[in-house]
Chain A
């Protein structure tokens, strides 16, 4: 038996398997946002279908869920009913706000008329707000506490449980 081969082989193999084993179970798409526990970037955007401007600061005083979405995004369709249902249940203690980017006014209105809504939706026309929040794609949601600090971020379509779970992170602070 060749002990050197055995020794070197076992060390390389064990190291590799251990590293891969530890890596299992983590979610590589979960990028820790540097914005967590930082004040949310300010914005003031026009509400869809109106000339009314919505300012982020007007929601201070209660938790806020900002949901970035677009009508061309399938997963956004998927999560929309859960968002509306949760909003109906949790408002006015918790505020919901939709931010649409890279989309057209008439498509957004059509979508909301057809599928219903329970909270304001604003249009991020140049995508500047999405960039400020570091949105990588839609849907993506940010959970703010009463002071306007980002406490949690969720990437991908949400359901009622996910909303509750992330909201707990806000309330725990």
Chain B
């Protein structure tokens, strides 16, 4: 019953998506309002059917209906309920269905929010969204069908991959990643629509920016959650391994970040239009590349799903999407007329340009490092992997340069500035740079790159705080009370600006935390017998004992440690080794005592419940905590910038509000009036 219902819903969603895509593109050519109306209805129908299909799968999982092939594959009566719920995205077929569900929600919301507002762009945007949707519905309907009927349903199943059962972060990381990944379809639709129309007018910049910002927030948090999960679960004391699939999640994030900045240059100066749509398209294409990488079996990684026939199908879609995007760009990019020009090398827009080039350079660096093993294997037939040293030696300098720009860019005014203005803007933040560097040095930071990071970070921090509260300070100077100035200048009119600088501040925190935690990490390995104490970096670590705990879905051997510092008990840590029936290897789970200053991380290398001994790898790393917190603050900043300002918004009003701020520094030439679509 459920398998048939599921298949009907998927086929229905495929039909709705195909019909809507055709209607959308036709309406885009004929400008038929009826066509647009029907395309919108198809979008809603698609969303409803695919979401229902997802619900049917969840019901099947929760009811342990093993007649559904996917449930037979990942279900188990013995796993906890939350594991059953998240099993939807624990394996290949389910994860594609989950992808479809998220895409359905995005398309429905985007169609609803843009209804009647961008009649010129909406039909083509819907066409692009539903074409993507049609492809994914096709995947679910044929090569990755999770709704096969099992002729002889088993009584019980193996349950999902043990790594997924091991930590609750696994319930959170994939949804965030999908919300980030899938959401990039929406700005892609707007960018393609703009190219099809041959115009990137001011009106479409707002939905383009906002639809890029929201998935960007999810993607940022997803990448952090992935790192956090690796840190809490994989037991090697790190959070980023330059694993091909980690890179796959980073690549679209890099281009999306670049695009969010270049959109601002389009808004302010009317330049970089073709470049911006290229970045938005590249973001979507990198998302599809990432989807291919995880699901084709080409790359080996903790994230890989098993090999399957859907790899080639996704590759065909990737090739088609590449072809479509390149053809659109080649035929239309020259139509996106430039309205201004780049003024002066020491201007904010010039810094934006350098920032964009660095982001693209970083994207290529990571992309090449990721696919290089494939090139070598294809040409020489030898297996190899590109390890940390390549990525670290390439990414650290580019990252440092970006951090430098994060300080210098916002300090410089838009347009041409006199050398006196430039000096006035650039010199004071050197105080921040000096303070951070000295503080770091005093606290024991000695690595060269870390000190450089601290200097750039200090510089950027001062600029960021300065810029963040500039609108409020101006109002206070004009005699407004601090409270009204804050509410009015920061939260209402300057909200987008305020949010953006919160993101910048958080990025400074995250980059410094990454630099310091990785350069100052200490590692030790100690073997304990019961009752024995080792002192490591000021922590007295004592093994209380080793015991075994049998749960329905796993057998864990747990080493219990008590941690004493300066004679005071501060924590009990229980790193463990778990055996899951369906896995080839036992899985270690580290335990972490995390504080804002430093983390103490214990990971089991060997544990023996009979002899009551345990060999533990101990990692002590400062500031790791701030990586997670920093990214969450980035997300909050992004949300503040995203949420529509409460002042009634005439087109270009938010920008106008910022003009008001900028006029404090006398601009060399008057700003062009807000550009609207005619």
| Residues of A near any B CB (own CB < 8 A) | 1-3, 5-6, 9-10, 13, 16-17, 19-24, 26-29, 31-32, 72-75, 102, 136-139, 156
Contacts and interface: CB of A to CB of B under 8 A. Distances in A.
A26 B298 contact: yes
Contacts of A32: 383
B318 interface: yes
A28 B318 contact: no
Interface of B: 158, 274, 289, 292, 296-300, 304, 307, 311-312, 315, 318-319, 322-323, 325-327, 329-331, 333-334, 371, 374-375, 377-378, 383, 555, 579-586
A20 B315 contact: yes
A23 B322 contact: no
A72 B581 contact: yes
Contacts of B580: 74
Contacts of A26: 298, 377
Given A13-B322, A20-B374, A5 B330 contact: yes
25 contacts: A1-B334, A2-B329, A2-B334, A5-B274, A9-B322, A13-B326, A16-B371, A19-B374, A20-B315, A20-B318, A20-B371, A21-B315, A22-B378, A23-B299, A23-B377, A24-B315, A26-B298, A26-B377, A28-B300, A31-B383, A72-B579, A72-B586, A73-B583, A138-B585, A156-B584
A75 B319 CA distance: 37
Given A24-B298, A24-B311, A31-B383, 8 more contacts: A5-B330, A6-B326, A10-B326, A19-B378, A22-B378, A23-B298, A72-B555, A74-B583
Contacts of A23: 296, 298-299, 374, 377-378
A30 B450 CA distance: 39
A78 to B, nearest CB: 9
A32 B300 CA distance: 14
A20 B315 CA distance: 8
A23 B371 CA distance: 10
A22 B374 contact: yes
Nearest to B158: A74
Contacts of A2: 329-331, 333-334
Contacts of B318: 17, 20
A73 B578 CA distance: 11
Contacts of B377: 23, 26
Contacts of A1: 330-331, 334
Given A17-B319, A20-B298, A75 B371 contact: no
A27 B330 contact: no
A156 B306 CA distance: 13
Contacts of B334: 1-2
A146 to B, nearest CB: 29
A37 B586 CA distance: 30
A93 B330 CA distance: 67
A53 to B, nearest CB: 22
A83 to B, nearest CB: 16
Contacts of A139: 584
A75 B583 CA distance: 7
A44 to B, nearest CB: 23
Contacts of B296: 20, 23-24
A73 B584 contact: yes
Contacts of B582: 74-75
Contacts of B289: 16, 20
A78 B601 CA distance: 36
A13 B319 contact: yes
Contacts of A137: 584-585
Nearest to A21: B315
A24 B300 CA distance: 12
A17 B315 contact: yes
Top-4 shortest CB links A-B:
A28-B300, A9-B326, A137-B584, A6-B330
B581 A28 contact: no
Given A13-B319, A28-B299, A74 B581 contact: yes
A27 B582 CA distance: 20
B140 to A, nearest CB: 21
A149 B333 CA distance: 63
A126 B524 CA distance: 22
A6 B278 CA distance: 12
A118 B334 CA distance: 75
A5 B555 CA distance: 57
Best-surrounded residue of A31, A73, A136, A138 (most CB of chain B within 10 A):
A73
Contacts of B555: 72
Contacts of B274: 5
B241 to A, nearest CB: 15
A70 B296 CA distance: 30
Given A5-B330, A9-B329, A29 B300 contact: yes
A141 to B, nearest CB: 12
A95 B327 CA distance: 62
Contacts of A31: 383
A9 to B, nearest CB: 4
A17 B322 contact: yes
Nearest to A104: B610
Nearest to B582: A74
B459 to A, nearest CB: 35
B344 to A, nearest CB: 26
Contacts of B298: 20, 23-24, 26, 28
B323 A13 contact: yes
Contacts of B371: 16, 19-20
B255 to A, nearest CB: 13
Contacts of B326: 5-6, 9-10, 13
Contacts of A156: 584
B315 A3 contact: no
B330 A20 contact: no
Contacts of B292: 20
A75 B582 CA distance: 6
Nearest to A157: B584
Nearest to B325: A9
Contacts of A10: 326
Contacts of B323: 13
Contacts of B297: 24, 27-28
B581 to A, nearest CB: 4
Contacts of B581: 72-74
A74 B586 CA distance: 11
A26 to B, nearest CB: 7
A74 B580 CA distance: 8
A72 B307 CA distance: 25
A15 B194 CA distance: 27
Contacts of B331: 1-2
